[in-house]
A and B are shown apart, each in its own frame.
Chain A
Amino acid sequence: MSLEDRVRTLEETEAVRRVLAAVGATCDAPYDAAAFAALFAEDGVMDLMEMGVYTGRAAIQEFIEGMRTKVSFTMHYWDGYAIDVNGGDATATWYGFETPNLNGTAHFGGLTHDATLKKVDDRWWITSLGQNLHFMSPYDKGWVKQRVTDQTA
């Protein structure tokens, strides 16, 4: 690889990190559904396992808007990225934890995430976003006593 190609790879790795940071930020304070969905490619897919699979920006935005009504406050801590860039394609995995208030009760969430991205028209777009929900526990119980609270209930 030429020096310029190597610099470009470093730049794109940083650019992908920034897009993923923006995804997390739209979910704080809580959930700007339109801004979240706008980071996806038109046919992008969000796979939330038991919470459903959502294809396309409209479906993604609708689901996130539904989450908003149940979450009065949250912060998304996303880091521990492993990003691979290959030309105009990228994959990433990372760790996330969250501190949502669900129906007035503080919760701790521990998740890992994965994404695929594509660069089109000089921008990176999310083509898929997935998560593994390890726990989403009421704060006063912790993940051994209650591993998951159904967030959509």
Chain B
Amino acid sequence: MAARSFSERTVEQRLQRLEDIASIRYLKHTYAILMDAGLCHENEAWPDAPFLALFAPDAVWESNVHGRHEGVAALRDLFTGWAARLTFAKHHTIAPSIDVAPSGVEATGHWYTWETITSGGAPIWLAATYNDDFVKRDDGWRIQHIRSNIQFRAPYHEGWAAEAPLPQMGE
């Protein structure tokens, strides 16, 4: 489909963009649901399918705290490592701002996330923003790149005043 200026788009092209936004929003919440089920140890197969199937094969996950991890094998190691320390997590991943490229097969999205996690038996608050890339394949949208900028990761009984904000990627 040739890229056209916004005003020249057909109704169908405009509809396709709205559907893509809805699909990506759905995909990101599915990521949160499956991630949390895995970190809560509700799914023995995690992080394997269906969770890792949300990602493109060469997908990247990186944060200002965890470094950069590329490819499904590296992601599997990263997430398995988390499950070794965490027994509970809830990623409240909200406020999506999603842009679909004129090509219709790439998109970016920004979210805020507010997380309640139990790590090493202790309750932790975690606040971050996501700047993610997505790719549309024959079988639908997949996560290409997650960039998580963590603002703070603070023990529940201490709060975040001392730590926030952590140094961000891209600063």
**Contact between A and B in the complex (any CB pair below 8 Å):** yes
Residues of A within 8 A of B (CB): 3-4, 7, 10-11, 14, 18, 21, 24, 29, 73, 75, 77-79, 97, 99, 101, 104-106, 139-140
CB distance from A95 to the nearest CB of B (A): 10
* Residues of B close to A18: CB separation below 8 A: 97
Among the 9-residue stretches B10-18, B39-47, B132-140, the one with 4 or more Cβ atoms under 8 Å from chain A is B10-18
| Residue of B21, B112, B159, B164 touching A77 (CB-CB under 8 A) | B112
* Residues of B close to A73: CB separation below 8 A: 151, 160, 164-165
For the complex of A and B, 6 pairs with smallest distance between CB atoms: A106-B161, A106-B159, A79-B94, A139-B159, A73-B164, A79-B95
* Residues of A close to B92: CB separation below 8 A: 77
**Sampled A-B contacts (13; CB under 8 Å):** A7-B15, A73-B160, A73-B164, A75-B112, A77-B95, A79-B95, A97-B114, A99-B127, A99-B164, A104-B161, A105-B161, A139-B160, A140-B159
Judge whether A24 and B95 touch: CB under 8 Å.
yes
Judge whether B14 and A7 touch: CB under 8 Å.
yes
* Residues of B close to A11: CB separation below 8 A: 14, 18
CB distance from A75 to the nearest CB of B (A): 6
Q: 1/0 contact trace for B126-164 toward A, CB 8 Å?
A: 010000000000000000000000010000000111001
* Residues of A close to B11: CB separation below 8 A: 3-4, 7
User: How many A-B contacts at CB < 8 Å in the complex?
Assistant: 49
Chain B CB within 10 A, most for which of A73, A99, A105: A99
| Residue of A7, A21, A77 touching B114 (CB-CB under 8 A) | A77
Query: Could you list 10 further interchain pairs (A-B, Cβ under 8 angstroms) beyond the known A29-B165, A77-B92, A139-B160?
Result: A11-B18, A73-B164, A75-B151, A77-B94, A77-B114, A78-B95, A79-B112, A104-B161, A106-B160, A139-B161
- When C-beta atoms are compared, the residue in chain B nearest to A81 turns out to be B95
Judge whether B161 and A101 touch: CB under 8 Å.
yes
* Residues of B close to A14: CB separation below 8 A: 18, 21
* Residues of A close to B164: CB separation below 8 A: 73, 99, 101, 106
How far apart sit A97 and B127, CA to CA, in the bound complex (Å)? Answer: 12
How far apart sit A140 and B127, CA to CA, in the bound complex (Å)? Answer: 18
